[in-house]
Chain A
Amino acid sequence: MVIFNGKGVCPAVAAGRISVFRRADIQVKRLKTDDTEAELLRLEEAKKTAIRELGEIYEKAVRELGEANADIFDIHMMMLEDEDYNEAIAEVIKCQNVNAEYAVAVTADNFSHMFENMEDAYMQARAADVRDISNRLIAKLSGNSGNGNIPDEKVIICADDLAPSETVAFDKDKVLAFATAYGSSNSHTAILARSMNVPAVIGLGEEFLSAVKDGDIAIADGFSGEFILNPDEKTMAETKKRQQEEQQKKELLRKLKGKENITADGRRINIFANIGSAAGIGEVLLNDAGGIGLFRSEFLYLENSSFPTEEEQFLVYRRVLESMAGKKVIIRTVDIGADKQCGYFYHEKEENPALGLRGIRLCLAHREIFRTQLRALYRASAFGRLGIMFPMITSKWEIDEIKSISVQVKRELTDEGMVFSDETETGIMIETPAAAIISDILAPEVDFFSIGTNDLIQYTLACDRQNRHVESFCDNYHEAVMRLIELAADNAHKHGKWIGICGELAADTNLTERFLRMGIDELSVSPAFVLKVREKVRSLDLS
């Protein structure tokens, strides 16, 4: 068993026999010719055939992948007809008195280098498009059909890299997965694999290429990016089990996607998703969450080598809001300190970090960090339905401080001519016993509450979450915790405010009924649990 690490593209696992994809190897030779006119004519003919073929691939892609994904082949046709590209080829033929194949190869090199030298990853990946169309042209000139071996059973296709046209040319029903030595997640191949819903692992490296042989067994894991060559029995059994689980998840999705979160007696609840970075949005939409109930902004701070600027933050928040297209997005202000530390920010060593300068306390102690984040959040609020949530609240004065800073920030933005939404909701996390106990005092000050169960349990039961010796004392279902949640729910509703739960308990379906009876309005869970909780809600009858 050998494991190669790459990047997973489509989240699914495949196991099966390998087929190594080989291109018909075309050697381009530089040949002198006196009859450049004849070469130009050959070029013209080859181009016509290539464009006709691309037209056929385009039609196949439209049928199998939809128009948006087929567009690339329309672009390829246009690239083949591009004036600069064609003039460059003709120029080489005429000036150097050489054959068309060589002229195409030289031009392909020049144009693909232009793209490779561009700054952004998207444009660099376009070099592959230039090579793809040029190889097709050369294949036509050499009278070659262009394609290598086509498998006749379901296989994992292994290759150095696959051009978009090669990817689409495969019969979808014969492909278990794609695995390539090179390639980027921006490549069209990656994009096409995703829309074909075929697992793909890319960037596995050169050793992968020399190790794979036709007929070998392998596992391609589109989640982890692993490619396991000749797996042992145990690994194979685990994979089979995972595939079954995946199948069940898909079943659930098919059954519950688009359905309401409603009990048999008509009680409705919102089921939102928790995410830790903008990359999680795909999962949120895939699992049909009604919104984002907790967007942890920490990653912006933890993955950076210095404090993220207002602009950096604004772009991320805006992207999240735009991607959610009008659905509610609740972003929690930075919650570093305690177990989450960032290296560039000097943080005095604390005897007891869980009881130390964390969450809102850190923000109020270092207001510039806080103001930058609030400016970015309010600027982004113009692009969707934003809620801002503050962590680790224990007293009313903290909310007073937050409000006065927010008023200043909004005034500044107005003075600078920036727009923001007046409908932005503000809420607080209820994750300390203090906040739950005085929730009647806090409720009039905010638009919503969200219960952070992990911290609420740890602070109520005086149990360190990371200390396994006290695990048996850390009872998730402890009556004290339940009563605090119920108290907060009652006080929220007395003041006409809504209340959600965004901690891990929200996904615990043993508690769904109890939460619904308390009147909880929203449960925010990891994207993978959205449909499980929906299934539970739909099975309940509270009457």
Chain B
Amino acid sequence: MIKFEYTIKDELGIHARPAGGIAKIAKNFRSAITVFKGTQSASASKLMALMGLGVKQGDTVTVTVSGEDETAAEAAIREFFEANL
């Protein structure tokens, strides 16, 4: 399993558009990708659960990736966070 932390810079936090983007990427990989905000977590492939975390600007989330294609999945998700959030 690999993981990374990310602090959200986007004014609206993880809102509908980026949540949709994350879910799309997550579905392309076999690895289980989970986004943690404190003790709450959501599978990255589940749009509504992701939005339900209510991640706001300034929040730090932890993303864990585990599975056979975890290296590629982690890189893709991380790149998306950096470019959009």
Top 7 nearest A-B pairs (CB, nearest first) are: A75-B20, A75-B16, A82-B48, A118-B54, A82-B47, A78-B47, A78-B20
**B46–A83 CB distance below 8 A:** yes
Closest A residue by C-beta to B12: A122
- A-B contacts, 22 of them at CB < 8 A, read A71-B17, A71-B20, A72-B16, A75-B20, A78-B20, A78-B47, A79-B48, A82-B49, A83-B43, A83-B45, A84-B46, A85-B48, A111-B48, A114-B48, A114-B52, A115-B51, A115-B52, A118-B52, A120-B54, A122-B12, A123-B15, A126-B16
Whole-angstrom distance between the alpha carbons of A207 and B40 in the complex? 42
A83 to chain B: which residues have CB within 8 Å?
Answer: 43, 45-46
Contact string against B for A residues 51-80, beta-carbon threshold 8 Å, 1 for contact and 0 otherwise: 000000000000000000001101100110
Whole-angstrom distance between the alpha carbons of A114 and B43 in the complex? 17
A120 to chain B: which residues have CB within 8 Å?
Answer: 13, 54, 56
B3 CB-CB contact with A under 8 Å:
no
A84 to chain B: which residues have CB within 8 Å?
Answer: 46, 48-49
Whole-angstrom distance between the alpha carbons of A78 and B17 in the complex? 11
Name A111-144 residues within 8 Å CB distance of B. 111, 114-115, 118-120, 122-123, 126, 129-130
Other 9 A-B pairs with CB < 8 A, given A84-B46, A111-B48, A120-B56: A71-B17, A75-B20, A78-B20, A78-B23, A82-B46, A115-B51, A118-B52, A119-B54, A120-B13
A319 to chain B: which residues have CB within 8 Å?
Answer: 11
Shortest distance from the beta carbon of B67 to any chain A beta carbon, whole Å: 17
B15 to chain A: which residues have CB within 8 Å?
Answer: 122-123
A71 to chain B: which residues have CB within 8 Å?
Answer: 17, 20
Whole-angstrom distance between the alpha carbons of A160 and B4 in the complex? 45
Shortest distance from the beta carbon of B37 to any chain A beta carbon, whole Å: 12
Closest B residue by C-beta to A71: B17
Name A285-334 residues within 8 Å CB distance of B. 319
Shortest distance from the beta carbon of B85 to any chain A beta carbon, whole Å: 14
Contact string against B for A residues 80-122, beta-carbon threshold 8 Å, 1 for contact and 0 otherwise: 0011110000000000000000000000000100110011101
Contact string against A for B residues 1-44, beta-carbon threshold 8 Å, 1 for contact and 0 otherwise: 00000000001110111011001100000000000000000010
Whole-angstrom distance between the alpha carbons of A119 and B56 in the complex? 10
**A75–B17 CB distance below 8 A:** yes
Whole-angstrom distance between the alpha carbons of A130 and B16 in the complex? 12
Shortest distance from the beta carbon of A122 to any chain B beta carbon, whole Å: 6
| Residue of B13, B19, B46, B51 with most chain A CB atoms under a 10 A cut-off | B51
B20 to chain A: which residues have CB within 8 Å?
Answer: 71, 74-75, 78
What's the dominant secondary structure at chain B's contact region?
helix
Name B43-85 residues within 8 Å CB distance of A. 43, 45-49, 51-52, 54, 56
B47 to chain A: which residues have CB within 8 Å?
Answer: 75, 78-79, 82
Give the bracket for the number of chain A residues in contact with chain B. Answer: 20 to 34
Shortest distance from the beta carbon of B20 to any chain A beta carbon, whole Å: 5
B19 to chain A: which residues have CB within 8 Å?
Answer: 75
**A129–B16 CB distance below 8 A:** yes
B13 to chain A: which residues have CB within 8 Å?
Answer: 120, 122
Whole-angstrom distance between the alpha carbons of A114 and B20 in the complex? 18
**B54–A123 CB distance below 8 A:** yes
B46 to chain A: which residues have CB within 8 Å?
Answer: 82-84
Closest B residue by C-beta to A188: B16
Shortest distance from the beta carbon of B77 to any chain A beta carbon, whole Å: 16
B51 to chain A: which residues have CB within 8 Å?
Answer: 115, 123, 126
Whole-angstrom distance between the alpha carbons of A78 and B47 in the complex? 7
| Residue of A71, A82, A115 with most chain B CB atoms under a 10 A cut-off | A82
Shortest distance from the beta carbon of A125 to any chain B beta carbon, whole Å: 10
B49 to chain A: which residues have CB within 8 Å?
Answer: 82, 84
Shortest distance from the beta carbon of A521 to any chain B beta carbon, whole Å: 34
Whole-angstrom distance between the alpha carbons of A114 and B48 in the complex? 10
Whole-angstrom distance between the alpha carbons of A319 and B57 in the complex? 13
B17 to chain A: which residues have CB within 8 Å?
Answer: 71, 75
Shortest distance from the beta carbon of A47 to any chain B beta carbon, whole Å: 15
A119 to chain B: which residues have CB within 8 Å?
Answer: 54
Closest B residue by C-beta to A130: B48
Whole-angstrom distance between the alpha carbons of A488 and B61 in the complex? 54
A130 to chain B: which residues have CB within 8 Å?
Answer: 48
B16 to chain A: which residues have CB within 8 Å?
Answer: 72, 75, 126, 129
Shortest distance from the beta carbon of A154 to any chain B beta carbon, whole Å: 32
Closest B residue by C-beta to A77: B20
B24 to chain A: which residues have CB within 8 Å?
Answer: 78
A82 to chain B: which residues have CB within 8 Å?
Answer: 46-49
Closest A residue by C-beta to B48: A82
Whole-angstrom distance between the alpha carbons of A85 and B13 in the complex? 22
Whole-angstrom distance between the alpha carbons of A111 and B43 in the complex? 16
Closest A residue by C-beta to B43: A83
Closest A residue by C-beta to B52: A114
Closest A residue by C-beta to B23: A78
A74 to chain B: which residues have CB within 8 Å?
Answer: 20
Shortest distance from the beta carbon of B59 to any chain A beta carbon, whole Å: 12
Shortest distance from the beta carbon of B42 to any chain A beta carbon, whole Å: 9
Closest B residue by C-beta to A72: B16
Shortest distance from the beta carbon of B71 to any chain A beta carbon, whole Å: 25
Whole-angstrom distance between the alpha carbons of A85 and B43 in the complex? 13
